[in-house]
Amino acid sequence: MGGTDQPAIVQLAPEDARAGLVLSGESHWNQNEADWRFFLRMAMVLGIRDGDARLIATAALLPYSPADAWISMVLVTASRRRRGLATRLLAACLDRAAKLGLTAWLDATPAGAAVYGPLGFFPALELRRLRGAGAAKGPRLGSDGNLDEMIARDRHAMGFDRSALLRELGGRSGSRVISQGRAMAMVRDGRTARHIGPLYADDAGSAAALIETVAQSESGPILLDVVNERRQFLEHLAGAGWTVERPFQRMRFGRATTVNAELPFAVAGPEYG
């Protein structure tokens, strides 16, 4: 990081939300302004600006517990890619995590995983991002699920508490916590599509039935980040017309601090884990 020709890494502030959203749009990611504002309030978000003070690269470290944090929002504007900006920002996030004694996690695209592996990240879960379309056969569902129950199941699955995240997501105007028997999911707005996740259920059939119920009440595109080990659930979705948009590889940097006591059927999203 020492060369004088390298632009400085700076910590971003809430007023940078719109600039971050521009990078999300350029990279065709689904984060919306509310996501950016959450990160800028709750995480360490680092950025690099060009000579005109335009934000050209970002990365965030979001602590979830005294032992674990999530790295995400690793974005670089198209004209500045392959110049080491993302690697510099990632290194800064890892340095901060090390100083705080945090194990760092992330959900990587295949291209990202090829970079992160040699840096010392270990693979964990595999994910599949699926895209579907709402059938709009009824009004949008209202919240009928218990957010506290979702928080408890999420804590059991992740091994650490994400109540601040789930209360934030669940409190947005377009968000719903939908339950059907023992199956429950968060449904929220994204930049270009609605997003379902996390999703917890006792079996693949009840998880698929809940997804069908949600899709019947939605009118536009829907994204779902499914845990690849949930093969029967994936088969249900494929049969219902959902298509795989891209894979993700969950990766860990540092010692293992948790064990998945319950695998979700779908996760909160690659930005959040």
Per-residue pLDDT for the chain (273 aa), expressed as one digit of tens each? 444 578 899 999 999 999 999 999 999 999 999 999 999 999 999 999 998 999 999 999 999 999 999 999 999 998 888 888 999 999 999 999 999 999 999 999 998 898 899 999 999 999 999 999 987 766 666 667 799 999 999 999 999 999 999 999 999 999 999 999 999 999 999 999 999 999 999 999 999 999 999 999 999 999 999 999 999 999 999 999 999 999 999 999 988 876 667 899 999 999 999
Rounded Cα gap, residues 141 and 90, in angstroms: 39
Specify the domain boundaries for CATH 3.40.630.30 within the chain: 9-124
Residue 259: the pLDDT is 67
Q: With CA atoms as reference, report the closest residue to 53 among 4, 118, 95, 7.
A: 7
Per-residue model confidence (pLDDT) at position 111: 87
Q: What pLDDT, on a 0 to 100 scale, did the predictor assign at position 260?
A: 67
pLDDT of residue 256: 80
Q: Cα(106)–Cα(109) distance, rounded to whole angstroms?
A: 10
Q: Does residue 130 contact residue 196 with C-beta atoms inside 8 Å?
A: no
Task: Determine the 3-state secondary structure of 8 from DSSP.
Answer: coil
Position 144 scores a pLDDT of 72
SS3 category, 19: helix
Q: Where in the chain is the domain with CATH 3.40.630.90?
A: 127-253
Answer left, alpha or beta for residue 61, where phi above 0 means left and psi between -120 and 50 means alpha: beta
The owner of tokens 């959900």 is 107
The token duo for 230 is 């949930």
**Three-state DSSP state, 246:** strand
pLDDT of 241 reads: 96
pTM value is: 0.91
Domain made up of 9-124: CATH architecture: 3-Layer(aba) Sandwich (3.40)
Q: Which of 54, 60, 50 is nearest to 11 (CA)?
A: 60
Residues 47 and 58: beta-carbon distance below 8 Å: yes
Two structure tokens written together for 219: 């009118």
Rounded CA separation 56/47 (Å): 7
Architecture label for domain 127-253: 3-Layer(aba) Sandwich (3.40)
Phi, psi of 107 (to 5 degrees): -110, 115
